[in-house]
Amino acid sequence: MNAPHFPHRATGDYQQSDAAHHLHAFVDQKALNSEGARVMVRGEGVYLWDNDGNRYIDGMSGLWCTNVGYGRQELIDAASRQMKELSYYNMFFHTTHPAVIELSERLFSLLGDRFSHVVYTNSGSEANEVLIRTVRRYWDIMGKPGKKVLIGRINGYHGSTVGSASLGGMAFMHEMGDLPIPNITHVDEPYWYANGGDLTPEAFGKRAALSLERKILELGADRVGAFVAEPFQGAGGMIFPPDGYWQEIQRICRQYDVLLCADEVIGGFGRTGEWFAHRHFGFEPDLICIAKGLTSGYVPMGGLLMSRQVGEALVERGGVYAHGLTYSGHPLAAAVALANLDVLEKDHLVERTKNDTGPYLQRALREAFADHPLIGEIQGVGAVAAIQFAKNKATRERFSDEAELTWHSRTVGFELGAIVRSTNGRLIVAPPLVIDHAQIDELVGKMRQAVDATAKKVLGNRG
């Protein structure tokens, strides 16, 4: 191991300074300050170390992004070579550069002939921002300028900026900053466990999909430009839609001439055992948002991928595309993304997730939790999964304080040295794709210990 980049400081010292300067994501900062943030200092493979030398197995791939794990030399070398050769240039001024060209060739070879164009961004939020403007531009040039409305889903997540948080369907986010912006609306989420009532998952999935058709008919198809959704909801709780949901959504979008947009910021680059999550679910989007796994999070990069139909229309008929980001296609990010795709291919990480480690993880979770008194459902495929807390498995009744219970499990998990995440009533995992069987056993074993601790607390208190 190399000497640390920064001289060592005591954890309390870091925490004090952190508290003085930062507003952390999605927390009550005052509460966090009283406790102090955990200081992470090193990562290697699927493990992280904090400033006090504690080791954690990272069941969340950072934030669903470190698909190739931490510290891969190939990505470090690519970054260093590119920084020496061309540390920055842009795609303004009628210029381009080899790194971005090589990356795009590779991406479109993975995507197949249906897709042709991309606008790169720095993040998933920005990819969704670009999407909003691009959809509206597309319909303008197609002679249908009235198709301005974008439809997202309740409890969907597409980012934290004004447009992307508007597309997302999280009410508590809308409360901050007067969102959503005009011409964005939301339809039902396909969360059978919570909302399915007496319906079978398939019947409920169809009903959730039909809420899109109802909304289009209510607004008028001549006003609706796009439907935007995550193939499986990530931040909403790793919610997997019932079989047939996406087929019905695709039918509706085609019937009413509405662009079908997949936010693959989490789902892309192998997470489900396919290169792109829409392939796992069997539908064909017109636009795709990417980020996270594109660079395995080593440097920021995202993008909006466009089908040939959209991309070529914008080029042939669109005139000036009045949009540009200083760091769009940044050479460093592009070089790292390419090296990341090289690692995913060279180590067969996508195939491995589909055929080996993914099934192993899914089996291990089901073995550990199928009969657990606190767990009502286990969902997932490949290297992504959720376990749903339930008060009564037979009726699917949920705990009124489910968010506190999953938070408890997540916190015990951290103390045991395993990072998982809690969202409402679900505990979610998405480990790096490089995880092996023994590490999966370690992760699932610690999760089980954590949920057992919560069960003891709940059952102990409630008899």
- Residue 123 or 250: the one with the smaller Cβ distance to ligand PMP is 123
- Residue 179 or 235: the one with the smaller Cβ distance to ligand PMP is 235
Closest CA to 40 of 11, 3, 65: 11
- Residue 229 or 365: the one with the smaller Cβ distance to ligand PMP is 229
Give the shortest CB-462-to-ligand PMP separation in angstroms.
Answer: 34
Phi, psi of 429 (to 5 degrees): -135, 150
State the amino acid at position 174 in one-letter form.
H
- Residue 166 or 454: the one with the smaller Cβ distance to ligand PMP is 166
Largest CA distance in the chain: 70
- Residue 268 or 425: the one with the smaller Cβ distance to ligand PMP is 268
CB-based closest residue to ligand PMP: 124
Give the shortest CB-60-to-ligand PMP separation in angstroms.
Answer: 11
Give the shortest CB-289-to-ligand PMP separation in angstroms.
Answer: 6
Q: How far apart are CA 342 and CA 357, in angstroms?
A: 19
Q: How far apart are CA 430 and CA 442, in angstroms?
A: 14
Give the shortest CB-150-to-ligand PMP separation in angstroms.
Answer: 14
- Residue 213 or 230: the one with the smaller Cβ distance to ligand PMP is 230
- Residue 107 or 277: the one with the smaller Cβ distance to ligand PMP is 277
Give the shortest CB-95-to-ligand PMP separation in angstroms.
Answer: 26
291's tokens: 């980020």
Give the shortest CB-87-to-ligand PMP separation in angstroms.
Answer: 23
Q: Which residues pair with 229 in a beta bridge?
A: 262
Give the shortest CB-452-to-ligand PMP separation in angstroms.
Answer: 29
Query: Which residues would be at the binding site for ligand PMP (CB under 6 A)?
Result: 63, 123-125, 128, 157-159, 230, 234-235, 263, 265-266, 291, 302
CA atoms within 13 A on the CB side of 458: 23
Give the shortest CB-353-to-ligand PMP separation in angstroms.
Answer: 18
Give the shortest CB-424-to-ligand PMP separation in angstroms.
Answer: 15
- Residue 125 or 296: the one with the smaller Cβ distance to ligand PMP is 125
- Residue 235 or 310: the one with the smaller Cβ distance to ligand PMP is 235
